[in-house]
A and B are shown apart, each in its own frame.
Chain A
Amino acid sequence: MSMIQPRIAAAGYISLLLIMLVVLLSSSWWAGHNASQMQFDARLMPPSTSHWLGTDALGRELWSRTLAGLRLSFWVGLSAALLGTLIALTLATLATLSTTLDALVSLLIDTLLSVPHLILLLLLAFALGGGTQAVIIAVALTHWPSLARILRAELFSLRHAPYVAISQALGKSRRFILVHHLLPHLIPQCIVGALLLFPHAILHEAALTFLGVGLDPTQPAIGVLLADAMRYLTGGFWWLGVFPGLGLLLMVLSIDRLAVQLRRAL
């Protein structure tokens, strides 16, 4: 019972996420309006049957802009999470090779964890000059340390497992043991790790973009939409601020729940 329940829940979350994904990724065909199409006779319209989530100051449909923003968040977040996982796996493997490398990797992890993420992100965005690619790299570079720590611990405990010792006694090379015994064991850890990084990556991308150092302000990213909404907040144009954030929250929440359920099921 207790073993099966999390798996059913995980399957539920996966199907929910898949449905969301299909809706999100296909929305550019059926959402009707283009995310950057302006209608000057319909500026700052509140939500109604003809404008589902209302329109912004240039008469652009908030509904199609929010969907476009979520699509962007999804791809940027996914790329950053995958890149971050790759960095974590590489450095964790490097750490097992020698004690010097291990000390260096640990020092790098401690260093990166001691600076608040957002400050490091600001510095990285400054160093890389902004833009989509820079954001993906910056988010990946700030998010690998916690996963690397877990993978490193896992690799170190596996090194003393009986089957590794037998393989060693049979004269297999270190590379063979790494590729055939150690890395396959880490695959589930990596999948869950990437999934756990994913929502963080999305939130940090949105935060960077909101502050004005992330994605390009001409793109309909959620951070751009919310930064725009800030300017109209005191005028009472609530829909500009509420809906894009709510969309982001729902996406992040469902990915996060899926990751947690998956970790429990594995």
Chain B
Amino acid sequence: MALDVRLINRLASRLIRLALVLLCVAIVTFGLVMLSPIDPVDAYLGPQMAQVSPEQRALIAERWGFDASPAVQFGHWLNQLLSGELGWSHIYNQPVSEVISQRFQRSFILLSSAWLMSLLVGFALGVIAGAKEGSLLDRLISGYAYVTASTPAFWLGMLAVLLFSVYLGWAPTCCAGPVGILNQDVSMLTRLHHLVLPMMTLALLGIATITLHTRARMIALMNSDIALHAFAQGASRSDIAWRHGLRHASLPALTLAFASLGELFGGSILIEQVFAYPGLGQATVEAGLRSDVPLLLGIALFTALFVSVGNLIADSLYPLIDPRMAQEQP
């Protein structure tokens, strides 16, 4: 019973913290946009800028509220935000919330499959490498992890296009479906065919972190009393690796995977750009390049929520790994 109360308290304080952080994200992002030297009326008008008279500009500024002070504009925006209105995206001519939900649906397939793959493959490689520290296999795997950790994500995507699409012709070079075919007419198989290459590239980058972390855990396990005891009972290294290591290192790997959702999303922005995959990442770049402020702010808030929830899950997994952490923090 006492435990329940403590658990609820912890959860409540986490949620309050989450709300506070999101409010700060809103303030910081809005402040940055206000700093921008780009005139919002110009950004809205685009190429038609020259055909508009100063009187009309003033009207537009009044209509969109650009003439008010930053504090008033922020209050207005926050007010709308709390009632679920994110504003209007002028480059897609759609409400921001619709753009985000449509785009995220496509990105979600990419993100979740890459996430799952990097978790599973990264974990398996980490266990194999850590079970025999210093072996040839270990050196190969850690070498691979070090190199991919230093590789620019978009360059890896370019190499993948070059090798698999241009030279081998195994996968399409771009987009989420064939050009010129309506989205709803694209079959599941074609969709998967277009997904494979971006997904593999994105996963390849995430694998390194999980592998190195799991490897370090496995090495610690192999030098522990648990391993010594098991060795004394006649267990082999791979027995220990798979029987104890699986339990010892799987939860930390899962935690790390949840905690690195931000990196995954950052990677997907670049990968989507290289493969012209029409997801949320591509929309982010478009919004940045063409000064679509409401969309940019909406995406920043949405991803902050996404990353924070990932961190929240990671935080609540820690006490499961190490019960001492649950007792330390009341």
Give the B-binding residues of A (Cβ under 8 A).
107-108, 110-120, 122-129, 199, 203, 206-207, 210-213, 226, 229-230, 233-234, 236, 238, 241-242, 245, 248-249, 252-253, 256-257
Contact = CB atoms under 8 A, between A and B. Distances in A.
B291 interface: yes
Given A114-B262, A123-B29, A226-B155, A233 B161 contact: yes
Contacts of B319: none
Interface string B256-288: 000000110110011001100000000011001
Given A107-B20, A210-B270, A249-B151, A123 B262 contact: no
A210 B273 CA distance: 10
B179 to A, nearest CB: 13
The 3 residue pairs across chains A and B that have the minimum distance between CB atoms: A245-B155, A118-B266, A111-B24
- Dominant SS at the B interface? helix
Contacts of B36: 126-129
Nearest to A112: B28
Given A119-B303, A233-B161, A129 B37 contact: yes
Contacts of A116: 262-263, 265-266, 269, 303, 307
Interface of B: 17, 20-22, 24-25, 28-29, 32-33, 35-38, 146-147, 149-155, 158-159, 161-162, 165-167, 173, 262-263, 265-266, 269-270, 273-274, 284-285, 288-289, 291, 296, 299-300, 303-304, 307-308, 311
A115 B303 contact: yes
Nearest to B308: A114
**Among A122, A123, A229, which residue has the most Cβ atoms of chain B within 10 A?**
A123
Contacts of B151: 249
Contacts of B28: 111-112
Contacts of B146: 253, 256-257
Given A114-B308, A213-B288, A236-B166, A203 B152 contact: yes
A226 B296 contact: no
Contact of A107 (B24, B33, B273): B24
A-side interface mostly: helix
Given A114-B308, A229-B158, A233-B166, A119 B269 contact: yes
Contacts of B158: 226, 229-230, 233, 241, 245
A211 B152 contact: no
Given A122-B285, A123-B32, A115 B25 contact: yes
A128 B35 contact: yes
A115 B270 contact: no
A165 to B, nearest CB: 24
B291 A111 contact: no
Contact of A248 (B155, B166, B291): B155
Contacts of A253: 146-147, 150
